[in-house]
Amino acid sequence: MKSMIVTRITVFVLSAVSVFAQQRYDMIVRQDFFSGFAGNKEALARGMKTTEETLAKDPNHAEAKVWHGAGLLVMASQAFQKGEAQNGMKMWQQALTEMEQAVRLAPNNVAVVIPRGATLITASRQTPPEMGRPILETGVADFENVLKIQESRFAELGAHPRGELLTGLADGWSRLGNTEKARSYFERIETELRGTVYEQKAKAWLENKPEAKAPGFFNCSGCHVK
């Protein structure tokens, strides 16, 4: 695991959740989690404690569970960085289990589905293929679900939320080897997001430019993390 995973998860999840969340539990915990993802151990501990207190009162609180799982995934990556492979793997598996439980509890709540999808798509960029591909598949499926949920009003959303979701899908399908699906999303971005950075990125991929193959090229284009 490379250290970049923590910062990239912070950017991507913050962008996606701040736009798509419907139930605002994230407003209670997200600042601590985002600070924690960026390296503030005390903040991460506070965020984990808050979600644990929520789950102690309501074990089926899907939003608390998905955030707790996301926190565990970051803690797992930190353990891997320190060479604590056994501890890291234990937390990694627990994180995936908790996020899966959360989505099963609330499969149509974008405040649950987006945090898992964004976390897994981002994490998949920095993990070995045998670990990365399964979580990328899950993350892309989550984003497809969100697109379906938002379909009736998707055109009303701002350029940023539409661009992040469609770019996540396009890049995800590309990395999964489904060029046809990836192309369809990049072409949709070209059509629906003209004049934006998302159109520029889509054109780079469609024209097979070198920068489109660079690590991090399709990371969140927001300015949320300071």
Q: Is 190 contained in some domain? A: no
**Residue 211: its pLDDT value, please?**
87
**Residue 21: its pLDDT value, please?**
42
Q: Is 194 contained in some domain? A: no
Domain residue limits at 105: 4-154
Q: Is 163 contained in some domain? A: no
Separation of alpha carbons 220 and 15, rounded Å: 7
Separation of alpha carbons 14 and 30, rounded Å: 8
**Residue 5: its pLDDT value, please?**
54
In Å, the largest CA–CA distance within the chain is 53
Number of domains within the chain: 1
**Residue 201: its pLDDT value, please?**
95
Q: Is 160 contained in some domain? A: no
Whether 14 contacts 222, CB under 8 Å: yes
Going by C-alpha positions, the residue among 170, 136, 2, 5 that lies closest to residue 73 is 5
Low-confidence ranges of the chain (pLDDT < 70): 1-23, 221-226
Q: Is 27 contained in some domain? A: yes
Separation of alpha carbons 111 and 87, rounded Å: 29
Query: Which amino acid is present at 193?
Result: L
Give CA separation, 48 vs 70, 74, 214, 216, in Å.
10, 11, 34, 28
**Residue 2: its pLDDT value, please?**
46
CATH at 75: 1.25.40
For the record, the structure tokens of 167 come out as 């770019």
Q: Is 25 contained in some domain? A: yes
Whether 148 contacts 6, CB under 8 Å: no
Query: Which amino acid is present at 150?
Result: Q
**Residue 126: its pLDDT value, please?**
85
**CA 57, chain centre distance (Å):** 27
Cα dihedral value 81, 84, 86, 87, nearest 10: -90
Q: Is 101 contained in some domain? A: yes
Q: Is 116 contained in some domain? A: yes
Going by C-alpha positions, the residue among 71, 77, 38, 34 that lies closest to residue 55 is 71
Residue 206: how many CB atoms within 10 A of its CB?
16
Residue 34: how many CB atoms within 10 A of its CB?
22
